[in-house]
Structure 1
Amino acid sequence: MTWWHAVIIGVAGIWAGTINTVVGSGTLVTFPVLVALGYPPLTATTSNAIGLAPGTISGAIGYRDELKGYWPEVLRMSIASFFGAIGGTILLLSLPKDAFETVVPVLVGMAVVLVIVQPKVSKWITKRREANGGEHKIGPLLLFFIFLIGIYGGYFTAAQGVMLVAVMGMLLSESLQRLNGVKNVLSAVVNTIAGLIYAFVAPISWPVVAILAVSSAIGGQLGAKIGRKLSPTVLRGVIVAVGLAAMVQLILK
């Protein structure tokens, strides 16, 4: 790895850590960067999962005030994410490498679409909450969806945060800030569990992991402290542009 590769990965890690904390989908920044630098898609995915885990943990810590008094509920949802992440990693490691490389452009495309529609989903969630004063508790349906998103996150991490906020917003009566905090915790669980498994049985670039771990942790704190002051439109625009570029590159390869 050259020094300028390290700089590019470090900048991408800071940006991804910030985006993951504020919006989600930071993987759509780091994944195409790693692929563009010559890393195979599978290695880029597994290295991302491990390297970005400190960033998601950092973001979750940054949102601890929003989660005061809500930790028993967070624990219940974390259990679903835990088992989902295990299922996703087993899926990734069981399927042929060619199958993963074939489906990655589709997954990136799905993630880009989710990022594009996220503002509309947020508006719908807000209107629904205002119209319905009833309280919605954590139920089997929500836990099932979180489990499925955990499988997706263990297999390919991009946009799992957007999915989590959308599902929790539809099935829980909590503020979006609290839901964002929960999203960061659940994403941290998925990335950590998947990363621990990948560390022992999957192809990993440890220099990439080290750079992403430090830079994404810095980004996670930035996202928690000042990320809400950044323009969501700008963040979303960057994610979509990078994601589309990644799709084109992966399809051409």
Structure 2
Amino acid sequence: MDGGTAGTALAAGVGAGFVVSAVGAGSLVSFPMLLSIGMSPVAANVTNTVGLVPGGITGSLGFRRELAGHGAAVRAVAATSAAGALVGAMFLLVAPESVFDAAVPWLILFAATLVGGQPLISRGLAARGRPTDPTERMSWPLRAVSTVIGGYGGYFGAGQGVMLVGFLAIGLRQPLTVVNGLKNVAVLAANVAGALVFIAFGPVDWPIAGLVAVGSFVGGWLGAHVGRRLPGPVFRALVVLTGYVVGLRLLLT
């Protein structure tokens, strides 16, 4: 491995760890960078998932104060995301990539729209007399959505956090800092579950994965400390912007 390849892998980890902790869609940073050093799409995806686990740990720990008292939601979102990711990761290794890739941009654009429109949706529900108070409970429909999004995370991952934020913000109606923390836990759980499958059966490039892991550890810590200080409207705008950039880039490439 030459110096340029090592530097690119390390930078990919730092960038992805930062973005996934602060906003979401960190794989959109690291995945193209791994492709740029000559890795095949599947090998890049598998290696990227394994390497981003440390960033998920530091990113989740950075939101531990915001998640205090939300243990039920943390456990529910982690379990459902991990369960879905196990299926998604196995699907990646046995099915053609083109099937799911065709739907990914539209799912991300839809989720970003949900995030941007969540205040309007909440006001609309209030006007119709439906409850809009914050809730700790992960309803069964919300658990199902989290499982499906976890499956996407195990399959590819870019934009998983953006999609999940949209549904959690509407389903739980918690402050966005709490939703962001739950998103980090979900992404971590999906990456851990996917990594277990890929370590056992996938083409992991271990030297590259190690460099991505080091970078994501640092980037996740930085992203969490920036993300947890963002005002709600700023975070919402960043999530929406990131979602549209991710979705349109995937749609047009």
Q: Please, what TM-score do these two structures have when normalized by structure 2?
A: 0.84
Q: Matches of 1:37 and 1:242 in 2, distance apart?
A: 21
Name stretches of at least 5 consecutive residues in structure 2 with no aligned partner.
none
Pair 1:243–1:16, CA change in 2 (3 A): farther
Please state how far the C-alpha of 1:77 moved relative to its aligned partner: 2.5
What is the CA-CA distance between 1:223 and the residue it aligns to? Answer: 0.7
Residues 201-220 of structure 1: pairs in structure 2 closer than 5 A: 201-220=201-220
Q: 1:109 is matched with which residue: 102, 105, 108?
A: 105
Which residue identity is paired with 1:9?
A
- Return closer, same or farther for 1:157/1:128 CA change in 2, 3 Å cut-off: farther
Alignment of 1:83-122 (within 5 A): 83-95=83-95, 99-100=96-97, 102-103=98-99, 106=102, 109-110=105-106, 113=109, 117=113, 120-122=116-118
Partners of 1:11 and 1:183 in 2: CA distance: 23
Aligned-residue offset at 1:226 = 2.3
Distance 2:94 2:5 in 1: 31
Residue by residue over 1:10-53, the C-alpha shift from the partner in whole angstroms, topping out at 9 and shown as x without a partner, is 12211111110111001011111111221100001111111111
Q: Is residue 68 of structure 2 the alignment partner of residue 68 of structure 1?
A: yes
Summarize the alignment of residues 18-29 of structure 1 with structure 2, pairs less than 5 Å apart. Answer: 18-29=18-29
Q: Secondary structure at the match of 1:138?
A: coil
Equivalent AA in structure 2 for residue 22 of structure 1? A
Partner SS state of residue 52, structure 2: helix
Q: 1 CA distance for matches of 2:110 and 2:26?
A: 13
- Could you tell me whether the CA contact under 8 Å between 1:25 and 1:111 is conserved in 2? no
Kept in 1, the 8 Å contact 2:89–2:154? The answer is: yes
Q: CA RMSD in A?
A: 2.8
CA 1:229/1:77 → structure 2, altered by over 3 Å: closer, same or farther? closer
Match of 1:165 in 2: 165
Residue 57 (structure 1) aligns with? 57
Q: SS where residue 39 of structure 1 aligns?
A: coil
Task: Quote how far apart the aligned CAs of 1:173 are.
Answer: 2.5
TM-score by length of 1: 0.84
Q: SS in structure 2 opposite 1:226?
A: helix
Aligned length: 245
Query: Which residue matches 1:154?
Result: 154
Does structure 2 conserve the Cα–Cα contact (< 8 Å) formed by 1:115 and 1:240? no
Letter in 1 for 2:11: V
Q: Given the superposition, is the C-alpha separation of residues 178 and 36 from structure 1 closer, same or farther in structure 2, using an over 3 Å criterion? A: same
Check 1:158–1:91 CA distance in 2 against 1; reply closer, same or farther (3 A cut): same
Distance 1:115 1:135 in 2: 20
Q: Does structure 2 retain, via aligned residues, the 8 Å contact 1:121–1:166?
A: no
When residues 209 and 166 of structure 1 are mapped into structure 2, their CA distance, relative to the original with a 3 A threshold, is same
Deviation at 1:240, TM superposition (A): 6.2
Alpha-carbon distance, 1:75 to partner: 0.9
Q: Identify the range of structure 1 (81-90 vs 226-235) with the bigger mean alpha-carbon deviation.
A: 226-235
**C-alpha deviations, 1:127-182, integer Å up to 9, x for none?**
56887543443211111111111111111111110111111112113111101101
Structure 1 spans left out of the alignment, 5+ residues: none
Identify which range, 239-248 or 56-65, moves more after superposition: 239-248
- Cα distance between partner residues in 2 of 1:112 and 1:149: 10
| Structure 1 residue 94, shift from structure 2 partner | 2.1
Query: How far off its partner does 1:246 sit?
Result: 6.6
Identity %: 33
Instruction: State the shift of 1:91 in Å.
Output: 1.2
